[in-house]
Every structure is written in C-alpha cells, then in structure tokens.
C-alpha cells in the first residue's frame, strides 16, 4: 500500500508550485505516487516521488471553459484512475482544488483526502461586486455565457448520473468567477495567508493557511543580475501561459511608456513572442522569453503583472507593489483583492496610454501606504508556515485517519 497518491493540474507553471511538498514528504519517508503526464516524469522522480502516468487529455476545441475541460476529462480518466486507486489503496489522496478527476475516485473509494488550494478561496456565499462581475462576464458576451451555462449543466448531469458522489458539491465546482473551482478535502492546505483571504471566518479549522509551498529555485546563471543591482527596476510579465502573455501590443505600449527613462525595465514576454517583432528595443530594457522571476523581484520597485496568483504571491513575498492588468480567468478576482487590500492598483481599461502607464507606475512606486500594505501582506505570507507547516498538518491528518 502506497502512502500518498498525489494529483496536480497539468502545466509547467503548476508543477513547480508543488514540488516543494513532494520533496518534503519524500524526505520524511513518505512513499508518494505522483500522477501526471509523461513529459514531467524526470522532474517528479528527481523530487523523490514515483511517477504514475495519467490518461492523455484531448486537445481543446472551440469555446471551452475550465469546468467544461475538466469534466470532459473526468468522463475519460475517472474509470482508469478508479481502478488504479482501488488496486493500490493509498492511505491518502492529495489533489489540487481543480483536480476533479482525483477527487471523484477518492470519494467513491472513501479514501481520506487533502486538497491544496494555490489560489485564495471563494467563500460559500460570496457574491462578487458588480464591477468584478462585469469585468469577468461582459454584457456584450451574455449569449456566449448562457451557452456555456447550458453546456456546464448538461456535462455535470452526465457526470452525476455516472458517479454517486458524496463529498463533492456542485457549488464548489461552479463559481461566479471564470476558471474558479474550489473543491475541498477532509483537510485543506491554502497557499495564501489569513490576511489575504476573503472572509476568513467563513472557513472552518480544516482549512490551514500556509502561504506558498515552493521549493528552492535554482539560480539562473545566464541572467545578467549583476546589471540590475542598485538600479530602479520595473518588472513586467503577463505570466507563462500563452493565451495570457501573447500580447505584442501591450509590450509595445510598455516600450513607449518607459523608453529612455531613469528605470531599468525587465520584461518577460513568454515563449511564443518573437522579440524582433516588438520593434526597436530601448537601451534601458532587458527583454527575454523567460526571466527568473523570483530573482528579479528581489530588485524590483514595481511589478506590472497579469494577476496570476503565483505571480502575486511572489511579488508580495519580495515586498513589491503591484500594478495588475488581468487577462482572463480568475485574474480579475485577484486584481480586485490586491486593490481592496491596498497592495497595488487594478488597471481596468483595455488600452492604457503609454504616458498614463508611466505616470501610474511612478505613483505606485512613490505611494508610502501601498508600500506599507505590501510589507504587511508579504510578511503574512512569509510567516504563514510554508512547506514545513503544510507537511506537518498533512502527516498529522494521515496519522489520525489511519489510527
């Protein structure tokens, strides 16, 4: 019998946020089966887990949402995973809050579960403010949203007719924010702090707020960090997901906003952008398809970001004020929370003039209250306990469940 079966979302950026948990579990003697796709096999085994292949995921087609994609995958994957978990009978199933294909077989086999939430949580009775709803669901797209709602309902009916789920609630699968899913486990590890969490009092003691549980990042020797020491750094990144970062016009606006300024601007444009298409690069810019973000943020005065939670946690941990340009998904919610807590600014207009962007960046950098709020939130994440606390709680729960 294996100790732990572990499931995460299939993504290069996702796996890096959970390897710290795997490494620490393995260091403490736990046998971990990590279910993932084959291209990550070497990374998983280096972290100390045993690789277990997942059924392949069909290519996305047409207008898909997170829920549609994941439920469709469940219809294919759950029968296979159910047979594997029934055979191996792990003592614990640990899964990401969007890994519905792991939660279902654990539920059906009555295996104790730990759910890890790399985003902050949406409270059960949370109703998003109107500006947030309109940003996420523009009125001119209302027909498309209604069509999605109908497809969600139809697929969910298929799934519930096939599997009699006891611990999985429809309300946790479908939230009033795009790409949001808050499945729950018997124990829940949350990658934020109680200070950042919306309505913390709505969540019981099964929710443990640990802050991010990252592994140590390898220093990139190829990035010219020596060039940015003791300089005023503006760091710009729209994340690593192509649908969010393939924004040539945005990068060109940034070039115009900060060209020939007193700032050194580091801009990460993602693997799909051909840097030569951006035009003339000002001498005060360093542009790359990949930037070692945590290293660069140590020197940054402001972070212009898409508002992905990994980026926000890393910015706050490094005490960097945020300017958030959400590109989709739950990033509007993150941007709203950042602004609500006074840690930065949510930019709501689609096309901001270069002069206004520069002025905004300078205002944020000079705002003492924002810097104070960022310091408080950053410390709350750093002091939340991280990987050590998360693994302590997981193993305590495993012991209680098996005794």
Q: What is the pLDDT of residues 18-54, one digit of tens each?
A: 899 999 999 999 999 999 988 889 999 999 999 999 9
User: In this structure, what token pair is assigned to residue 22?
Assistant: 């795997």
Cβ neighbours around 148 below 10 Å, total: 18
Q: What percent of the chain has pLDDT over 90?
A: 65
Q: Please name every residue paired with 61 in a beta bridge, in sequence order, or none if there are none.
A: none
Structure confidence at residue 13 as a pLDDT band (50, 70, 90)? low
d(CA 186, CA 402): 13
**Token pair of 6 as six digits:** 């572990």
Q: Quick one: average pLDDT of 203-219?
A: 88
pLDDT of residue 62: 66
Q: Which two tokens stand for residue 236?
A: 């710009």
| pLDDT level of residue 350 (50, 70, 90 thresholds) | confident
Among the listed ranges 1-5, 152-156, 269-273, 338-342, which one has the minimum average pLDDT value?
A: 152-156
pLDDT band at 218 (very low <50, low <70, confident <90, very high): low
The answer to whether domain 4-211+384-402 and domain 225-382 are alike in fold is yes
Would you give the DSSP letter of residue 263? S
* Cα 182 to Cα 171: distance, rounded to the nearest angstrom: 9
Give pLDDT, residue 131.
78
336: left (phi over 0), alpha (psi -120 to 50) or beta: alpha
Average pLDDT over the chain reads 90
CA-based nearest residue to 197, from 143, 271, 120: 120
Integer Cα distance of 145 and 68 in angstroms: 13
Model pTM score: 0.92
Taken in order 146, 149, 153, 154, is the CA torsion positive or negative? positive
Residue 174 pLDDT: 78
CATH number for the region 225-382 comes to: 3.40.50.2000
pLDDT tops 90 at residue 259: yes
- Give residue limits of the domains in the chain: 4-211+384-402, 225-382
CATH of domain 4-211+384-402: 3.40.50.2000
Confidence of residue 196 (pLDDT cuts 50, 70, 90): very high
- At 61-113, the pLDDT tens digits run 666 777 888 888 999 999 999 999 999 999 999 999 999 999 999 999 999 99
């Amino acid at each position: 019998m294996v100790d732990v079966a572990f499931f995460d979302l299939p993504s290069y950026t996702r796996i890096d946020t959970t390897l710290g948990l795997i490494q620490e579990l393995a260091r403490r003697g736990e046998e971990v089966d990590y279910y993932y796709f084959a291209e990550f096999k070497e990374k998983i085994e280096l972290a100390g887990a045993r690789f277990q292949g997942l059924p392949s995921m069909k290519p996305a087609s047409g207008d898909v949402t997170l829920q549609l994609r994941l439920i469709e995958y469940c219809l294919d994957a759950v029968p296979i995973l159910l047979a594997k978990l029934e055979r191996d009978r792990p003592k614990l199933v640990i899964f990401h809050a969007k890994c519905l294909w792991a939660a279902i077989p654990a539920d059906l086999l009555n295996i104790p579960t730990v759910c890890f939430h790399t985003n902050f949580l949406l409270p059960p009775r949370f109703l998003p403010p109107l500006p947030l709803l309109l940003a996420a669901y523009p009125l001119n797209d209302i027909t498309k949203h209604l069509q999605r709602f109908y497809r969600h309902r139809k697929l969910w009916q298929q799934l519930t007719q096939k599997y009699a789920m006891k611990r999985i609630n429809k309300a946790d699968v479908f939230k009033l924010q795009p790409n949001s899913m808050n499945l729950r486990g018997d124990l829940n590890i949350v990658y934020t702090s109680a200070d950042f969490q919306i309505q913390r009092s709505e969540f019981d003691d099964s929710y443990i707020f640990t802050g991010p549980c990252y592994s140590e990042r390898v220093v990139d020797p190829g990035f010219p960090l020596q060039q940015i020491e003791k300089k005023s750094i503006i760091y710009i990144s729209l994340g690593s997901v192509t649908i969010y970062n393939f924004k040539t016009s945005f990068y060109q606006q940034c070039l115009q906003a900060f060209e020939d300024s007193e700032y050194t601007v580091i801009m990460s444009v993602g693997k799909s952008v051909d840097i030569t298409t951006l035009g003339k690069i000002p001498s005060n810019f360093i542009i790359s398809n990949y930037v070692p973000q945590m290293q660069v943020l140590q020197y940054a005065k402001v972070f212009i970001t898409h508002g992905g939670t990994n980026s926000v946690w890393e910015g706050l941990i490094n005490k960097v004020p945020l300017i958030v340009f959400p590109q989709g998904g739950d990033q509007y919610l993150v941007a709203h929370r950042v602004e609500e807590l006074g840690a930065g600014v949510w930019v709501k207009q689609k096309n901001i003039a270069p002069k206004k962007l520069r002025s905004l960046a300078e205002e944020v950098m000079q705002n003492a209250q924002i810097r104070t709020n960022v310091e408080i939130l950053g410390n709350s994440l750093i002091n939340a306990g991280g990987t050590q606390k998360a693994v302590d709680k997981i193993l305590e729960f495993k012991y209680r469940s098996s005794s």
